[in-house]
Structure 1
Amino acid sequence: MKVGILGNGQLGQMLSDSIKDLADIEVSLYDLRAHNDADLAAFVANVDVVSYETENIPAAIVDQLEGIADKLYPSLTALKTFQNRLLEKNALRAAGIDTADFCAVNSLDDLKQAINTLGLPIVLKTTTEGYDGKGQYVLRAPTDAEPAWISIGNRELIAEAFVPFLRETSVIASRDRQGNMVVWPMTENIHHEGILRYSLYPAVGLSNEKAAQAERYIRQLADSLDYVGTITLELFETEKGLVANEVAPRVHNSGHWSIEGADTSQFRNHMLAITGRDLGATRARHNAIAMLNVISDEEPAVAAENIANAFRHSYGKEARPARKLGHVTVVADDEAQRDATITQLGALIPAGVWPPKH
């Protein structure tokens, strides 16, 4: 079977690498940055199944995918839904999942009305594109409205009420063509300046009730869209329960730990799902695991090569500020061993971000 992945960044490469042992699957990656219509038409015509490493696909390319919707996984409906934060929020609500209150914003007057409706603080976001903190603005006073609109306005936006959360978590699942689903253990995710810096398993102190709520939510969402592939639901943990933040219709940074840390990685199960294979188990192989992102500079990650329970992944990218250049996975027998290893790799984490504050 021939599989085509739209996108040849680190996620596309890890998807391809995850099934190198399966000789009957051939994977090709399409460079979205070098797109032209003729090349894309030839690419999709030459494969049996098409998937994508990112939902941030230009509208012109999405339009071209209409003709191959029957072999696109996740579906065109899922792609279009999760490309737009307003559509995403409505899909979450329709699936019975709690979200922050929100308003559409298309003008400065709309933004001022959103402040009146939602109260302050609010988070203003572009409805499309924007990741790792880009395309966002936090408003804390009414006088922030005009600078916020000048900064990211003059396009469709969404204003979201601020959620008073204890921490950020994520739940990741894969769903096959028959509707069978597997779910990975949840992680706690620590961000700095809008970028994920590290993820921890287990999410310490997460109640059985909240874990069950997260699994119920992601099943409801995937089933509502007849989703096929790996899907990620980012969640705020609050005193009362979990509130959905955002959805990624793909493998996700917070699940990179699964390569060394789980029976089956998020990447492999995505490929198994879209090619009609049975999904693999998602049990954690170790009692404690961490994933540390390598941001801006790869030099601090070199130390991982001399640590037995650390695994370095380099994406082969040119260094620049705030760019994800790779990640390091730490596996351990217990949290104390994991945390000691993270401390050894402390140069990867900005001052004051380790250990987590809870």
Structure 2
Amino acid sequence: MTTAHDSVNHTVALSFEDGVTRFISVTPGQTVADASYRARINIPLDCRDGACGTCKAFCESGTYDGGDYIEDALTDDEADAGYCLPCQMTPESDLVLRVSGTAEMAKSGIGTFQATIEKLHWYADNTAGLTLSVEDRDKLNYLPGQYMNVKVPGTDEERSYSFSSGPEAEKLTFLVRTAPDGVMTTYLRERAAEGDTLTLEGPKGSFFLRDVKRPVLMLAGGTGIAPQLAMLEKIEKLAASGVVPAFPIHLAYGATWDKDLVEVEALERYAATIPGFTFDAIVADPASGHPKKGYVTQHLLPGHLNDGDVDVYLCGPPAMVDAVRKYFTGEGIDPTNFYYERFAVGVVAAPALAGAAA
């Protein structure tokens, strides 16, 4: 890594163990720890001199100058693996850091935002799309793949939904898989109207896009396509700015019924605008007229698996996640990185839910 500081501020996402992510702006030459404390985020810290290792974090994405420290605080092997010391490091790009401890310990709670329903769209009787405008949109930063908790108006309940829009989008979009008698379902079907106000809390979640350093395999089931759409929107923005993925990206998107396939037109657009991106849409129903039927694992080719040198992003119901893990084991494939998120129908908000029903 180079040691020269450039002349622009960089955004650093601090990802805590409880799934909360907070964003800070770091000025040229400033350490991540100093910027955190100026933002009133108390990450673990003791010596501030690179001598104790208390603040040790893991860099998920981005480049930086590691600064000066002693071997007792950070070994060469740890540094080579991506660990770093926020008290010494200065960013050379935007970063994502996995920080030890919880946001509560750091005295940095999740953000609360007010949003207005701009559009409520029904893809089918069991899938809705929400488009929201958010007050203080510039203060809501998130990583593509993360989710928000949404309070259900008129109740004490909340549900969790992954962004299907990229982090630069002016309007936020979400996919909602409905459930019979669910509180969110009841609200959307019986009371929701354009102009309604919703309260959102977050962002949260450790399922998000990392730097593309090897081939990528995305797997999605049903509304589990939501976080993948946010990731692809981010990749499309990067490609448009000249940051073209150096490796192929393939998405296998599965659904039970034809009506469960949503946003296929968006995927077709990404296939035309993102170099190296391909996708398959697959329907499990044997009576479907869709050209590809069965399960996503039945349509994976050796090139998609790349002998295990692949980053896998999987979002789907628990049964799909378990099936994919068993498939990898049966094929003798151990992906370099395997990021996954389960979602279930009709459950109260919990970590790692995407497009969850309510």
Q: TM-score per shorter chain, which class?
A: under 0.3
TM norm structure 1: 0.27
Structure number having the greater helix percentage: 1
